[in-house]
Amino acid sequence: MLRISLDKLDTLFAKIAEKQKLYIPSDREDGSAEYMEWSEGRKLSNALNTVRSAKEFFFPQTESLVDFKLSGKNIEVIDIRKETEDFVVFGVRACDARSFGILDKVFLSDPVDSYYQNRRNHGTIVTMACTRPSETCFCTAFGIDPTAPEGDAACFTDGSFLYIKANNDRGEAFVSSVSSLFEDGDTAELEKVQAKTKEVLGILPLSGLSTEAFGGDKLNKLFGSEKWAELSESCIGCGTCTFVCPTCQCYDIKDFNTGHEIKRFRCWDSCMYSDFTKMAHGNPRLTQLERFRQRFMHKLVYFPANNNGELGCVGCGRCLTKCPISMNIVKVMKALEAE
């Protein structure tokens, strides 16, 4: 495996940024981390995860779709899309890397979302293995190994060196483009770090979380559970969980009249909102209980029913840390598993 000293990370980042934009997790003033475009002086964060996931590189929170110009009865359709330039997202954790596969099943299925597809075709994902998992982590419940992340290329660290390996052809091309900065290295210390990390994973509070009670064949049993009333009682419907979630894909499309033209844009939406999917006759889910149930049934039942059993959660733990009333998918799973 190739390696480079951690004190040469800036040299590595500069090499990558010579030919394409590079984004890395970097610390904000409040101590949290977010993805920022790398420039000289910007440092890689040591935070376990960013506040918002890397899905925004492929499914932005807001994006313009098309413009229309009206002249009498004539309508001119203006395609405002431009070819996305190549870019690299560095330091993506294993949970977020798995989320891309879930989003692909939504946006790359027929009919293909060409906006999402275009970004996926131009983006290279370089993951970073976890060494200090948090008490809110439960990715292993979904078959994810945070010490061996997916992505086009994967990086690992033992505290002194950064190691890298390619996971696919795109990763091979990426590693080849920076290989002149690397050397062949002994991975003995790295293997010790990985073994220690796996020991920590085994004693985390949520290490025993099971998904066996959920899946596409549990619809009738779980949908009618009486526990939804108690679970949803304290939910304030703020939607925070959906906005920090790496696998949520709900959106709304709106038209805005500038006075000169019509601009159509897409923005994230939330199934937790009372006006979500509101139609002429109203909202099909009128109560907070129904909206609350929809979110978790989609993750645990509806999505796996349509995707060969794959659950719609990756165990990143963001909803555990960000929910203002401490309600999250883990509590729902534990309450419902007895059903």
The alpha carbon torsion through 129, 214, 239, 88 (nearest 10 deg) reads: 30
- In the chain, what percentage of residues exceed pLDDT 90? 88
The answer to whether the beta carbons of residues 164 and 174 sit under 8 Å apart is no
Residue showing tokens 């709304």: 252
Residue showing tokens 């939607």: 239
Average pLDDT over every residue of 97-116? 96
Split at pLDDT 50, 70, 90, the class of 333 is very high
Strand order of the sheet with strand 123-128? 33-37, 21-27, 87-92, 123-128, 153-157, 161-166, 2-5, 183-184
What's the chain's average pLDDT?
Answer: 94
Q: What is the pLDDT of residues 258-317, one digit of tens each?
A: 888 899 999 999 999 988 877 666 667 889 999 999 999 999 999 999 999 999 999 999
Q: What is the pLDDT of residues 207-265, one digit of tens each?
A: 999 999 999 999 999 999 999 999 999 999 999 999 999 999 999 999 999 888 899 99
pLDDT at 280: 67
Amino acid at 176: S
How far does Cα 89 stand from its chain's mean position? 12
CB neighbours of residue 221 within 10 Å: 12
Q: Would you tell me the crossing angle of helices 94-107 and 114-122 to the nearest 10 degrees?
A: 140
pLDDT at 80: 86
The answer to whether the beta carbons of residues 235 and 198 sit under 8 Å apart is no
Q: What is the pLDDT of residues 107-125, one digit of tens each?
A: 999 999 999 999 999 999 9
Does residue 24 carry a pLDDT above 90? yes
Does residue 338 carry a pLDDT above 90? no
CB neighbours of residue 163 within 10 Å: 19
Q: What is the pLDDT of residues 165-198, one digit of tens each?
A: 999 999 999 999 999 999 998 999 999 999 999 9
How far does Cα 180 stand from its chain's mean position? 31
pLDDT at 282: 67
